[in-house]
């Protein structure tokens, strides 16, 4: 490794062959180090370099995300630029390299927008701490939303390339791990088709088992299936249970006080409720910011006795 003055230790986190979570480290001498661990199958790992005195990095970019499996993984590059480090020598890691290289140009294009978003978000946090007016906070949220809109095309291009890889390589540990991020946005039939093409080893892996559980949940929530029941406290502190609305048409609106699109959609929901409430239509607003009850209660738009009333984390 280069830059040994700033990187005298390599720290690694992974789950070993016994299913135990491991947090270990090894010292670097003259830019060279080795580490020996036990895993039975391709396993995701996280690593970072340190000087032996400082704690773990606060920035995501300072971490390495990679795969380990029986064999030898080679690591080379500049320890001060973790994202440029080359990891090779193992089949699954080579697949992961291919997967990541597909979106390098989009990641580079997103970087300045990410930085701008983080800066604006810090400004929003500062304004909130200063007790700024709701108008000032909303203006800052609008700025953040504009940056998100600018990022959207590149994020979609990334998702398209990633999902295309997964469909072409269904029987891959990389695909099984990455497919988890597409579960909520992929058609159930297509998701099931990819899972059906996975071999026993991939299906029995941790990621494969989690994927099977997600597919089961999606099936239970698909059109024609009985909705999963849940309970929560309404805006007045009274218990509310979804199954108590059996026989009515219920729309679940997942929202948050900080969500700009949520607020923009509120007038339309009011119109829908006013138009169909006599026909048994109800809206249950599920708040995603329970840590700030004052905010969601303030922004809740009450439709009858239901909408905007549940303090329930989505």
Q: What is the pLDDT along the chain (314 residues), one digit of tens a residue?
A: 666 556 889 999 999 988 899 999 999 988 899 999 999 889 999 999 998 888 888 888 889 999 999 999 999 988 888 888 999 999 999 999 999 999 999 999 999 999 999 999 999 999 989 988 888 998 999 999 999 999 999 999 999 999 999 999 999 999 999 998 998 888 899 999 999 999 999 999 989 999 999 998 888 777 777 777 888 777 777 788 888 888 888 888 887 777 777 777 778 888 888 888 889 888 888 776 555 666 556 655 443 334 444 333 33
Residue 298, pLDDT score:
60
Residues forming beta bridges with residue 254, ordered by sequence position = 286
Nearest to 77 by CA among 89, 67, 88, 91: 88
For residues 167 and 174, give the distance between their C-alpha atoms in angstroms, rounded to a whole number: 12
For residues 179 and 211, give the distance between their C-alpha atoms in angstroms, rounded to a whole number: 8
219: left (phi over 0), alpha (psi -120 to 50) or beta: alpha
Nearest to 266 by CA among 307, 312, 305: 307
Q: With contact defined as beta carbons under 8 Å apart, do 167 and 194 qualify?
A: yes
**Cα pseudo-dihedral 83, 85, 91, 97, rounded to 10:** 40
Q: Half-sphere exposure (CA, 13 Å, Cβ side) for 220?
A: 9
**Cα pseudo-dihedral 243, 247, 248, 249, rounded to 10:** 90
61: its two tokens:
């970019």
């Amino acid at each position: 490794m280069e830059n040994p003055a700033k990187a005298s230790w390599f720290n690694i986190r992974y789950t070993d062959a016994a299913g135990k979570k491991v947090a270990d480290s090894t010292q670097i001498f003259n830019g060279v180090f080795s580490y020996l661990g036990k895993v039975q199958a391709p396993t995701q790992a996280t690593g970072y370099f340190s000087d032996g005195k400082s704690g773990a990095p606060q920035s995501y970019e300072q971490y390495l995300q990679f795969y380990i499996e029986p064999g030898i993984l080679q690591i080379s590059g500049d320890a001060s630029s973790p994202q440029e480090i080359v990891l090779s020598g193992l089949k699954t890691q080579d697949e992961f390299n291919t997967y990541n290289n597909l979106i390098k140009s989009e990641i580079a294009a997103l970087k300045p927008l990410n930085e701008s978003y983080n800066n604006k978000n810090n400004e929003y946090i500062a304004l909130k701490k200063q007790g700024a007016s709701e108008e000032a906070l909303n203006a800052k949220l609008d700025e953040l939303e504009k940056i998100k809109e600018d990022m959207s095309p590149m994020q979609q291009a990334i998702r398209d390339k990633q999902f295309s890889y997964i469909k072409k390589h269904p029987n891959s540990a990389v695909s099984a791990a990455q497919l988890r991020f597409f579960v909520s946005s992929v058609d159930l039939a297509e998701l099931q088709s990819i899972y059906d093409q996975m071999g026993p080893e991939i299906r029995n892996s941790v990621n494969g088992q989690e994927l099977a559980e997600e597919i089961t949940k999606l099936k239970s929530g698909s059109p024609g299936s009985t909705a999963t029941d849940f309970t929560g406290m309404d805006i007045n502190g009274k218990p509310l249970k979804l199954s108590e609305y059996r026989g009515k048409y219920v729309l679940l609106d997942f929202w948050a006080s900080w969500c700009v699109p949520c607020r923009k959609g509120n007038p339309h929901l009011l119109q829908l409720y006013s138009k169909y409430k006599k026909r048994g239509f109800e809206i249950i607003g599920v708040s995603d910011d329970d840590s700030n009850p004052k905010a969601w209660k303030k922004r809740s738009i009450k439709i009858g006795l239901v909408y905007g009333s549940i303090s329930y984390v989505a």
